[in-house]
Structure formats: structure tokens, C-alpha cells
Amino acid sequence: MQRVSTLILAVLLFACTAMAVIPQKETNPVYLNPNAPLEERVEDALSRMNLDEKIAIIHAQSKFSSPGVARLGIPGLWCTDGPHGIRAEVKWDEWDQAGWTNDSCFAFPTLTCLAATWNPEMALLYGQSISEEALYRNKNVLLGPGVNIYRTPLNGRNFEYMGEDPCLSATMVVPYVQGVQDNGVAVCVKHFALNNQEDGRHVVNVTLSDRALYEIYLPAFEAAVKQGKAWSIMGAYNRIWGQYACHNHRLLVDILRGEWGFDGAVISDWGGVSNTDEAIHNGLDLEFGSWTDGLTEGRSNSYDAYYLAEPYKEKIKKGEVSTKELDDKVRNVLRLIFRTSMNPNRGFGALNSIEHILAGRMIADEGIVLLKNDPVGKGKQAQAVLPISKEVKTILVVGENAIKQMTVGGGSSSLKAQYEISPLAGITRRANENHMSVTYVRGYVGDIGGEYNGVSTGQDLRDERSAAELTAEAVAAAKQADVVLFIGGLNKADHQDAEGCDRLQYGLPYGQDELISSLAAANKNLAVVILSGNAYAMPWLAQTPALIHAWFNGSETGNALADILFGSVNPSGHLPFTIFPTLEDYPSHQYGAAAYPGINNEVEYKEDLFVGYRYADLYGTKKPIKYTSDGREYTINPPKHKPLFAFGHGLSYTTFRITKAALDGRNVKVTIENTGKVAGKQVVQLYVAPRKSNAVRPKKELKAFAKVELKPGESKEISLQLTDEMFRYFDAEQHAWVTDKGTYDICIGTSSDDLPAQLEYIVK
């Protein structure tokens, strides 16, 4: 009898538990109806939640997840790094690997490469492909893309972003967002805002003019929100105007929600919250963390100690704050859940599919930039080193980056890739197909490590030889080869292209500059290939006939590079940032430590609007530009040197010519012709230049672009539409966008320093 009673009691308890978890039919829950209007679902779910459930849903329950409401059948959210691939699974409460054997992803090219394609179609393909990998792993929120502006080449995280120009970044981020979210996965656009350096990122306070904020640093975020309809956005670590970005009232309340109408969720960067009161009132919705009080030792559930957890609930219970802000936060999180984990149109995804491999390779092919390709020799015998001629018999490959795997390391972008084709492997395979022999020598020793957060490449790159010995070996081998390919650059180690710390120098590390010069002296048929997400000094440039900037291109790195080197793909990438000769040529490095990296954790953007090519365009100006903006006085000294390579620069194995440009109302019609012997793609760029203005403005600014593919001898007409927004600037005193009447030059070409076609447009 006792056993029967126990059994009955157990059944009753199970039934009660089930009833508590499964919503009852008689309650007619609107929130479970995917066909009901979204806001009705949100309000219905909110009305059914108690205080504990509301508090729980706005902060993490593990390293990468937040809870839903089990009693109501509402699932939680699972986030994942990063913008270039789906991060390997970590333990519930730790950064260490979970030890899964089925979480190896496809590694896509970094976002600098995507920006260098100058092709929104590639951004859409990227978003669609990476969201399918997220779906396969049941991830709801992709922590990316990053759209912070390239302000200094020392920023260790530039490789994760989309360059120096707000128009390029804004144009490329929108299709990326749409591609991801069309599959029911949310983007989390980051890092909002002004996270433009890694040194001191947790403490620096950024000050700048409103004009620079609105014209340079916000447009990509605004486009992601207003055009892309981003479902979530991530706050930055740094402070702005003295207040941390993750709970910055002006950024999150006034601008993001007030001016842009954002209806998604604001997610903190991991450990980016530092104050409960500010987090309550200043627009943060969902707290994730690493270094907050939530990880205090000895707690049974450390996440309950987060700023938006027990401390928040206690303030409500004591009557110190109302539940109005809490309900708003819960609404935003519920909206995110209904759009993702409760989205009935989500697919099952795919991992490492052939479609993703082809997409990644195509993006890398279009993003690799041919910077220089001068002919070698004299007269009719002169011939460019690239593409590698079929007459070549012996190829020497030099450099650590030819063999080093780059998908592991670099911070939160580190990936456990299923495979990674090295440059050497890709080159060797293609050379063998063409009956060429390949020899490899090390040349230099850089970062011999290959492990990050428990993911290991398995490579042992130790080499005890001296730099002199390595150089001597490389030079001797170079004298015997038909073509020499040096493959170097940066890597994903600390103080290279990596999260958490900035670069220590502008030049290439590990003695590469000296090695390249030695190779150039030994063999005139030298092509230099740099893998990097950043610009760098090039003291050897005049000695080097061919130069390729190849980024970090993920799993298909070697195959994509071989496509370009051997000419099966015609390069069509264009630089998303300006490359100056020296670090001092960058405007952010002309004002001492006050502008970078800061004094006493205070950083002032003293270069104001004049970032990248906007500053380069001042070359030749005789006097400094002096003006006042937002009560701050600015002095912009003209650059001492021209850029080595201009923003938007990129060569091809064919040649192009703009044959016609005309205005038809607001429609700019441009005819471009392929005047060479092979098919190729070219980027037509449109800049707007005011002849006069009531305010200090850059000489010209990119406002539109289009990529076009042409066969030899083929011409095409493309159309670029002028809009009101292209002529305006931000007036801080009026806090409004204004447009000066008058004449504007519409400048059209293929880079910021090559604009042969100019049209006149009058704003009345």
C-alpha cells in the first residue's frame, strides 16, 4: 500500500509539474501563436510573467546563454561568437572547451576581406551562409558583424571591422544583416560605439564632436538598424562622455531608440556592465558577463549576482525603482526570442556544406587586393610577375605565414575550423597541376604558438636557427628560382591582429622588412603577399614589383590565394582603408598620446572628421585648417606624405576605362569598358565634393559604388542614384542634418585618388 501511495504521489507531482510548464488550453495563449501580431504576443507573454521570471530573462545563465520562461514554454537564447564563423562550444561556466567532436565550423574570411569586395551581393551571401552554420548548432544570436571605424592601424581588432569609411561600411552591413536574419538568426551589431582601440578598452573615455559622431562613427550602425532592421546590438566596453557604452543614456536611449526607432534588444559586451542604476535607466536589456560580480567565488549561482539580477530585484522590492523599465527590457528580450528561438520559419541549417565552402572561397577571391604589379625587364621582354606564367618551372615560397594556421587565436574570433588550406598547400597543389616545382623555406620565425582557449592547430613551428641563418637560406634559394613568393604579414598573436591588445609597431614584425629587401636583391621576380587585417609600413615597396594584400581568409585561404596568383581568378578587391607610409601620417597619431592611446584613460578624437582619405585629400594644402565644432577648437595639419595606396585602390590583370558619365536628373549614368585581354570586375566609385560650404567639410566623400563584371572589350552602363542624404552634413548647434545650396562636383572613378570623370550638380 505504501508503494502504491508513493507511486500515485509521484504521478501527481509529475502531472502538476507538466501543467506548470505547458500552457493550459483554456488560457488561449496569444504568445504561442506565431501568426499573431508580434506586439500582441509580446504583451501577452509579459502579462503572464512574475517578477522572478522577468529578472531572470534579462541576464545570462551561462557563458553564452540566457534563460527563457520554462513555466510558459518560452525557450532561452544561445549566443555565439563570432562574425567569421561559429565558435566552438565552451563549458557552461568556463571559457575552456566543452570537448565536443561535432562543433568544427567552416571559417569564413574576416570582415575586412568582405568590405574589400565592395560587393553587397557578397555580403548577402556571407550572411546567408554563416546563419546556416549558426542554425545547425542551434544558435539564436550571432555576435556580429562589427562596424567600428578604422581610426588607427594599431587597433588589434581592425580585421573584424569594415574599414575607414561610413558609406562603405553602411552599404556592406545591411545585406549581411538581412542575410543572417532571413534565416531566423539575430545579428548583434557591435561594438556600439567608438570601440576603436583595444588598449585600455575597458576604461578609456572617448570625447569627440557631434559632427564626427554622426558623420563618421554612427552611419553603419544606423544603417544596420534602420535599413537592415537588426534585432540586437552590442554595447562597447569603453566610456563615451564619461559614461560606459553598455549603459550610456545618450547612445542607447536618445539616439538608438529615440532617433532611430530601434525595437530590438541591447546586449552588453561580456563584462561590460558596471552599475545597476545606470543599467536600469539607460537602455540596456540583456546582461552577459565575464569579469563582473557574477563570477564571485563561492556562490551557488554566480549569475544571480549580475547587475541586472538580484541587485535589480532588491531595488524593486524596496520600492527604490518601479517595474516600468523592467517591463520594457523584458519586451525587448521577448521580441528577440519570438524572432529567433520561437520563429517557426527557422531552418535546420548546415555545417561545412559545399555551398559554404564555395561561398567562402568566392568572397576571398573577390576581397584579395592586388596593390602593385609592375612589369619586370625592359622593352618588349618586360612582363609582370603576376599572374604566374605557365613558362615558370620553379617557385620558391618564403615566409612563416605560408604554413601558419590563422583561424585559431585573435580573441573571440578564434575558431575551431574543420580544415584550413594553408597558402603553401594551395600554391603547391596549383603548381603541380601546371607541372611546376615548389620549394619552401621558412625565412623568419614569428609566433610559434598554435593554441587558444583549448583549440590547438597541432602545428609545431619551433625553429632554433638565427635570423641570419634563415635569411641566408632564403636568399640562396631565391637565386635558383624562377619566381619567389614571400608570404608574411601579421598573425593572430597578442599585439598583432588580435582582440584585447593593440599592435606595438607599424612595420612588419619579426624582421620581415629586412628579409623582403634581401629577397628583392636576390631575385627580381618577387611577389610579396601580406596576410593582415591592418595597414603596415613598406620600406621595401620600390624594390618589389608585385604586392598582394590577402587578409585572413579562413578555411579556403590557400585555394583562394592560388586562384589569384595563377590567374584563374582576376583580382577585383579594393582597399577599405588608406595605407600611409608611416604611422605619423595617420591623423590620429599627430596629436600625441592625448589622441591615442590616451592620457589618464582620456582619449580625444582630435582629427575630428578627417579620417583616412578625408585626411589624405589635404595633401598639398599649405596651411592648417582651423575651426570650432561643438565648442572644441580643431587644428588639422596637412599630411606630409601621399598615401602609399589610396582608399578604394585595387588593380586587375586587365584594364578598364570610364568612357562616359552623364547626369539624367538625379541618375548618374556611367559607362565603363574592359580595355584589356581577360574578363574582370571593377568597382565604380562616386564621391560628392562641395565647391563651397557654410561649414568645414572634407574635400570629397564616398556616397555610392557599384561592382561590374566585364568581358574583354565589353562595355556596360551602370546607374548610381543621387539622394538628398549625399549632400548633407550634421549641424551640432541645430542637432540636425543640413544641406548647403550651391554647386557640387560628382567625382567618378575607381579609387579615391583616381576620379577621371566629373559632373556638376546644383542643389537649389
pLDDT digits (tens, 9 = 90+) for 649-665: 999 999 999 999 999 99
CA–CA dist 622, 619 (Å, integer): 9
Q: 7: pLDDT confidence band, cut at 50, 70 and 90?
A: very low
Which residue, 116, 229, 290, is CA-closest to 650?
Answer: 116
pLDDT at 719 over 70: yes
pLDDT at 295 over 80: no
Which residue, 763, 684, 750, is CA-closest to 717?
Answer: 684
Q: 22: pLDDT confidence band, cut at 50, 70 and 90?
A: very low
State the average pLDDT over residues 582-588: 96
pLDDT at 28 over 90: no
Q: 296: pLDDT confidence band, cut at 50, 70 and 90?
A: low
For the chain, the domains span 31-339, 363-565, 656-763
**754 pairs with which residues across the strands?**
751
Count CA atoms within 13 Å of residue 31 on its CB side: 23
Given this structure, which CATH class describes domain 31-339?
A: alpha beta
Q: 467 near 444, Cβ under 8 Å?
A: yes
Which region among 14-23, 655-664, 675-684 has the lowest average model confidence (pLDDT)? 14-23
Phi, psi of 252 (to 5 degrees): -85, -35
Which region among 143-147, 218-222, 301-305, 388-392 has the lowest average model confidence (pLDDT)? 301-305
Q: 727: pLDDT confidence band, cut at 50, 70 and 90?
A: very high
pLDDT at 299 over 70: no
Q: 224: pLDDT confidence band, cut at 50, 70 and 90?
A: very high
**Which helix or strand (DSSP H or E) is residue 143 part of?**
none
pLDDT at 694 over 50: yes
CA–CA dist 205, 31 (Å, integer): 42
Q: 314: pLDDT confidence band, cut at 50, 70 and 90?
A: very high
Residue written as grid cell 632564403: 474
Phi, psi of 547 (to 5 degrees): -145, 130
Catalytic residue among 81, 269, 447, 585: 269
CA–CA dist 749, 681 (Å, integer): 14
* Per-residue pLDDT tens digits for 358-390: 999 999 999 999 999 999 988 888 999 999 999
CATH superfamily of 363-565: Glycoside hydrolase family 3 C-terminal domain (3.40.50.1700)
Q: 79: pLDDT confidence band, cut at 50, 70 and 90?
A: very high
Q: Is residue 502 flagged as an active site residue?
A: no
State the average pLDDT over residues 285-308: 74
pLDDT at 293 over 60: no
- Predicted local distance difference test score (pLDDT) of residue 87: 95
Q: 292: pLDDT confidence band, cut at 50, 70 and 90?
A: low
* Per-residue pLDDT tens digits for 404-442: 999 999 999 999 999 999 999 999 999 999 999 999 999
- Predicted local distance difference test score (pLDDT) of residue 301: 72
| Average confidence score pLDDT of the chain | 94
3-class DSSP state of 255? helix
Q: Work out the number of other CB atoms within 10 angstroms of the CB of residue 614.
A: 26
**Which helix or strand (DSSP H or E) is residue 643 part of?**
none
* Per-residue pLDDT tens digits for 505-522: 999 999 999 999 999 999
Given this structure, which CATH class describes domain 656-763?
A: mainly beta
Phi, psi of 381 (to 5 degrees): -85, -10
Q: 94: pLDDT confidence band, cut at 50, 70 and 90?
A: confident
- Predicted local distance difference test score (pLDDT) of residue 630: 86
3-class DSSP state of 480? coil
- Predicted local distance difference test score (pLDDT) of residue 93: 83
pLDDT at 4 over 80: no
C-alpha cell at 719: 546607374
- Predicted local distance difference test score (pLDDT) of residue 19: 40
C-alpha cell at 73: 514554454
